[in-house]
Amino acid sequence: MRRKLCGEFEYFRNHSLEPLSTFFTYMTCGYMIDNVILLVSGALQKKSVRDLLGRCHPLGRFSEMEAVNIADTPSDLFHAVLVETPLAPFFQDCMSENTLDELNIEVLRNKLYKSYLEAFYNFCKDHGDVTAEIMCPILEFEADRRAFIITLNSFGTELSKDAREALYPTCGQLYPEGLRLLAQAEDFEQMKRVVDHYGVYKPLFEAVGDGSGGKSLEDVFYEHEVKMNVLAFTRQFHCGVFYAYTKLREQEMRNIVWIAECISQRHRTKINSYIPIP
């Protein structure tokens, strides 16, 4: 499924001109970040490079990938390997001499993604026109979603509040007051109270079910993302349709994998808890 999507993506890319080709490059940066982190954490677990390369996302391939596992610190990683790739500009905040252990890898991943998202947002905004009208709300939602998920998953871990705040992307609606309040939250109830000030997100949090029966926050966010991506197709002559198409195809793949797992584990009642795409 992924190979088919990759084939379609490359087809679009090969037929594109500026600024669409830069837009496509921005889209692939997200996958490149995931691949770099996969390779670095695989090296930590002493996995062979060949296995890891086979599992990398095809949309995020770049020629220097095989050399990623030789680096011990983020500075080495940048200077030795990634300086020639499109990821180079996102390393501004990430240069440090700390060795790449599990905590630092996670921090690196989130900082890279934050820089990438902000750069992508600025690119869309500068492009103006319908693209900005469609893409900017989508990217703002993505930034806020990351802030919520980072906060939720960091409860009970060794990540400090200041370190957490440094990982939040600043191109969303929550910046700056919401992010500051979110950084101080210590449990889900406090997060909900922060969200009460934002009309867009309040109904999403209210839709989250309790315990194992209802929807999780990630499900609710995926649903909202699907709605926004579907609306991108109602306008014409903008780059956002390619982004929306790719994201909706990914959601389809997630749904198919979920259904397959439910069948293999014989949980037929749970099959219908996927997110339908109209």
Partner 1 sequence: MAAADLRAELDSLLLQLLWDLEELESKRVALNARVEEGWLSLSKARYAMGAKSVGPLQYASRMEPQVCVCTSEAQNGLQKFRVVRAGAQSPEEVGPREAALRRRKGLTRIPEPEVFSASPNPLNWFGILVPHSLRQAQASFQEGLQLAVDMASLQIHINWGRSQLRGLQEKLKQLELGAA
Contact flag: residue 270 with partner 1 (CB under 8 A): yes
On whether the CB atoms of residues 230 and 220 are closer than 8 A, the answer is no
Contact flag: residue 152 with partner 1 (CB under 8 A): yes
Contact flag: residue 187 with partner 1 (CB under 8 A): no
* Interface residue with partner 1, options 22, 25, 34, 118 (CB under 8 A): 34
* Interface residue with partner 1, options 97, 158, 162, 189 (CB under 8 A): 158
Contact flag: residue 47 with partner 1 (CB under 8 A): yes
Distance of CA 186 to the CA centre of its chain: 23
Residue nearer to partner 1 on the CB measure, 38 or 232 = 38
Residue identified by tokens 């991108």 is: 232
Instruction: Name the minimum Å distance from CB 245 to partner 1.
Output: 19
Structure tokens at 144: 């806020």
Contact flag: residue 166 with partner 1 (CB under 8 A): no
Residue nearer to partner 1 on the CB measure, 133 or 250 = 250
Return the closest-CA partner of residue 155 out of 186, 180, 183: 186
Residue nearer to partner 1 on the CB measure, 40 or 81 = 40
Residue identified by tokens 């379609």 is: 8
Q: How far apart are CA 225 and CA 200, in angstroms?
A: 13
Instruction: Name the minimum Å distance from CB 149 to partner 1.
Output: 8
Binding site for partner 1 (CB under 8 A): 34, 38, 41-42, 45-47, 51-52, 55, 57, 102-103, 105-107, 109-110, 149-150, 152-154, 157-159, 212, 216, 218, 254, 257-258, 261-262, 265, 267, 270
